[in-house]
Amino acid sequence: MSETRRLLSPDRLRPWMDAAIEVATLGGARALQWWHKRATLTVEQKGKNDWVSEADRDVERTVVAELRRRFPGAAFLGEEGAKEQAGPGQLLWVIDPIDGTTNFLRGMPLFAVSVAAVVDGEPVVGVIRLPLQAETFAAARGVPTTVNGAPVSPSKVSHLDEAVVALGSNRKSEPGPVSASYARLIEQGVEVRRLGSACAATCFVACGRVDGYLEQHLSPWDVAAGLVIVEEAGVRANDYASGTWLSSGGPWVCAPPQLFEGVRQAAGF
Ligand code: IPD
Ligand code: CA
């Protein structure tokens, strides 16, 4: 067990998780207000098919302000601008205000608000709110994953030819490895899904709606909360939160233990 985990007992983490649930729910309500008037949003292009709107920025501001009020000494890292370095032992909140921005802007009903607590580079609390589904996935180290307070369990499927696996890509993905992993999955009879929200796909692995999820490159705000959510649900994941993950991200794969090796081999990393 790492030193961080030894010091941060479940009793110490539970109030952080409860605060994150409250704030992600508030952020989700804010995102929903924008969702209903999304046709009026000003949208900017950050890169090839990479978008940001007033809604993403407003939800990030709301989530940061609400957390800062509750945790005045914390640092913040967010997809839409928050970028503070955390010192040793300092609490860092990692936020994706709207994960699934393309879905959101086009009216496809799956997007998420993601809030994670990270200490010394280690994610220790994860909360993901799916506003349209009114679902909140939450976990902390030593505190098992729940959805709206009820325990979750991952899938029991044991063969890839019965599995549904989510796969994603973005402008940082190399086309070759993405198509190779897609090909390896379908060769083995996997039903592949592209959900458009990394956070939702990860939560769906935790509760068994899909049997695995892989992406060649994801940013820290896409994974930090989901990593705690899947691991505390008994799902296996690659060693994502290591090295320079907080500044550069990296590949992400997760699946229930009986399928992990197969899905990881298909991912190719
Ligand atoms: C994206 C979504 C998408 C995933 C991309 C992410 P954003 O996040 O999670 O499903 O495939 O890799 O960048 O831009 O909608 O917050
Ligand atoms: Ca994202």
Q: Which atom of ligand 1 is nearest to the CA of 79?
A: 16
Strands 164-168 and 150-151: unpaired
| 3-class DSSP assignment, residue 242 | coil
Q: Which atom of ligand 1 is nearest to the CA of 168?
A: 11
**Is a pLDDT exceeding 80 seen at residue 94?**
yes
% of the chain beyond a pLDDT of 70: 100
Q: According to the model, what pLDDT value does residue 136 have? A: 99
Least distant ligand from the CA of 250: 1
113-142 pLDDT, tens digit per residue, is 999 999 999 999 999 999 999 999 999 999
* Phi–psi pair at 239, nearest 5 degrees: -80, 65
Q: How many helices (H) and strands (E) does the chain have?
A: 9, 14
Q: Which atom of ligand 1 is nearest to the CA of 104?
A: 15
Least distant ligand from the CA of 252: 1
Instruction: Return the residue whose CA atom lies nearest to atom 12 of ligand 1.
Output: 170
What's the gap in Å between 257 CA and the centre of ligand 1?
A: 25
177-187 pLDDT, tens digit per residue, is 999 999 999 99
Q: According to the model, what pLDDT value does residue 188 have? A: 96
Residues with CB under 6 A from ligand 1: 79, 96, 99-102, 168-170, 196-198, 215, 218, 222
Phi-psi region of 100 (alpha: psi -120 to 50; beta: other; left: phi over 0): left
Q: Is the pTM of this model over 0.75?
A: yes
224-266 pLDDT, tens digit per residue, is 999 999 999 999 999 999 999 999 999 999 999 999 999 999 9
What is the C-alpha R_g of the chain?
17
Least distant ligand from the CA of 225: 2
What's the gap in Å between 122 CA and the centre of ligand 1?
A: 22
134-183 pLDDT, tens digit per residue, is 999 999 999 999 999 999 999 999 999 999 999 999 988 899 999 999 99
**Is a pLDDT exceeding 80 seen at residue 6?**
no
Is there a contact between 259 and 212 (Cβ–Cβ < 8 Å)?
Answer: yes
Mean pLDDT value of segment 92-106: 97
Least distant ligand from the CA of 201: 1
**For the chain, which domains are there?**
3-151 (3.30.540.10), 160-267 (3.40.190.80)
**Is a pLDDT exceeding 80 seen at residue 13?**
yes
Mean pLDDT of the chain: 96
Q: According to the model, what pLDDT value does residue 145 have? A: 98
What's the gap in Å between 89 CA and the centre of ligand 1?
A: 29
Q: According to the model, what pLDDT value does residue 104 have? A: 97
* Phi–psi pair at 8, nearest 5 degrees: -100, 85
Instruction: Return the residue whose CA atom lies nearest to atom 16 of ligand 1.
Output: 99
What's the gap in Å between 197 CA and the centre of ligand 2?
A: 7
User: How far, in Å, are 126, 159, 243 from residue 29 at the CA level?
Assistant: 18, 39, 35
**Is a pLDDT exceeding 90 seen at residue 48?**
no
Where does residue 138 rank: exposed (0-12), middle (13-18), buried (19+ CB within 10 A)? buried
DSSP label of 162: G
What's the gap in Å between 164 CA and the centre of ligand 2?
A: 22
Q: Which residues contact 246 (CB under 8 A, 6 or more apart)?
A: 77, 92, 94, 118, 121, 220
Q: Which residues contact 202 (CB under 8 A, 6 or more apart)?
A: 128, 213, 223, 226, 227, 229, 230, 254
% of the chain beyond a pLDDT of 90: 90
